[in-house]
Every structure is written in structure tokens, then in C-alpha cells.
Chain A
Amino acid sequence: TQLLEQSPQFLSIQEGENLTVYCNSSSVFSSLQWYRQEPGEGPVLLVTVVTGGEVKKLKRLTFQFGDARKDSSLHITAAQPGDTGLYLCAGVEPSGRNTPLVFGKGTRLSVIA
């Protein structure tokens, strides 16, 4: 099973600040997904990136897939308290392997008003 390392593990920032969290692996994935999990709820899919170098934007969130498809980043601009949660990245292994998603341990973000 391929591993995904997420950093930082914890992040506490003030409202209005920008931040970037990272998801890294030594292995190639056919795609990467980002989820947000709020307390008491299950993870919810935010985005899927498929092509190396791809950048996707979701309002104030910008997701990038590394050129080699081994890593990804999530940048949040002007963070708000509603962004608080656990951000998980999950990798889809290259086609031909029937293995479900591999999750990183997540970055726990706290945005203070």
C-alpha cells in the first residue's frame, strides 16, 4: 500500500490569513482527492485532481497536483472560521490495481476569529 504524508499535522491561524497544506508520497497516483471532515461528520469530497500539474480552484481554495503525480497541495486564501476542519488527501493507485483510496492522516486546521 502506498503511503501519503500530510503536513503540517496541525495548523492554527487567524481569520484572514493564507495557508498551504501538503500531501506527499514517493509513489505515483492516477489521481488525488481532497476531503474535508468536520467534527461529528464523515469526510466530504472537495476535489479530484487527475492530470500532473493540474490546478483547480474552489472559491478560496486552490488545489494543485504535482507534475509527477506524487504530491499535491491545498492553498486557502483569506481563511475563515468555517474552514476549520480536518483536511484529508487520498490517492487513487494507478489503474489495474483494484485497491480503494489510500488516505493520509490529515491536517487539522483551526481558524480563529
Chain B
Amino acid sequence: DSGVTQTPKHLITATGQRVTLRCSPRSGDLSVYWYQQSLDQGLQFLIQYYNGEERAKGNILERFSAQQFPDLHSELNLSSLELGDSALYFCASSATGRPGNTIYFGEGSWLTVV
């Protein structure tokens, strides 16, 4: 158990819909990361927050957005869903968010778009 909690674990939704994935970081960690994992693309970095502020942005689509709240939990919002958005979405956290800091992954949220 990494201490990072993600909900829901599984989600099936239709194209065009919107979903929200939720993440609670490890106790004491200030930085949260979101990654998307698919078979063909591997683990792709989407976005990072540190203490409520966006720190780094990766390959995140405009249809996707995220935020980190004052209690440090984070949400990833996926809208206008397409079949290609089906993937495993991971949240991870680290203490300081600095490069090289150990990051801990949650168990992921399986999203299936039908």
C-alpha cells in the first residue's frame, strides 16, 4: 500500500461524457502528479501540482483539466470523452515535488469509454 488513494477504481462511461477522478496523496506529501497509461503509449505524464499550484504540464489534452485543493487532494476532470481516452489513470505523490524525489503511485483508475 503506497498510501496514495484513488477513486473510483473502475469506471465505464459513454463517449461525450465527463468524469472526475479523485486522488488523495500520501500523508505529508505536497505534490501530486497525474499519469495516463495505455498499452501503446506507455506511462505518459499529464500534469503536476505542488501545494495547490500547477508546477509542470505534460501531454494533457485541452479536454482534460485538474486541480489540487487546499487539503491537498486532487481531481482530474476528463470531458467530451472519446474512445481513445480509455486508459489507466494514475495519481502519484511526492513530498517536495522536486525532480528525483521518490514518487509513490496509487493503484490507478481504470477508465473505459464505450
Interface membership of chain A positions 11-36, coded 1 if the CB is closer than 8 angstroms to chain B and 0 otherwise? 00000000000000000001100000
Neighbour of A100 across the interface among B48, B104, B105, B107, CB < 8 A: B48
Interface centre among B33, B45, B107 (most CB of A within 10 A): B45
Chain B residues near A104 (CB-CB < 8 A) = 42
Given A43-B105, A92-B99, A98-B55, A103 contacting B92 (CB threshold 8 A): no
Q: A100, B56: Cβ atoms under 8 Å? A: yes
Chain A residues near B42 (CB-CB < 8 A) = 88, 103-106
Look across to chain B and name the residue whose beta carbon is closest to the beta carbon of A108: B39
Chain A residues near B55 (CB-CB < 8 A) = 98
Query: Interface of chain A, helix or strand or loop or mixed?
Result: loop
Q: B106, A97: Cβ atoms under 8 Å? A: no
Chain B residues near A30 (CB-CB < 8 A) = 99-100
Interface centre among A40, A97, A101, A104 (most CB of B within 10 A): A101
Interface centre among A30, A43, A95, A104 (most CB of B within 10 A): A43
A92 to B108 alpha-carbon distance, docked (Å): 22
Neighbour of B100 across the interface among A40, A92, A102, CB < 8 A: A92
* Interchain pairs with CB closer than 8 A, number: 59
Q: A40, B45: Cβ atoms under 8 Å? A: no
Chain A residues near B4 (CB-CB < 8 A) = 42
Look across to chain B and name the residue whose beta carbon is closest to the beta carbon of A95: B99
Q: A100, B102: Cβ atoms under 8 Å? A: no
Chain B residues near A44 (CB-CB < 8 A) = 2, 105
Look across to chain A and name the residue whose beta carbon is closest to the beta carbon of B45: A100
A93 contacts the other chain (CB 8 A):
yes
A95 to B99 alpha-carbon distance, docked (Å): 8
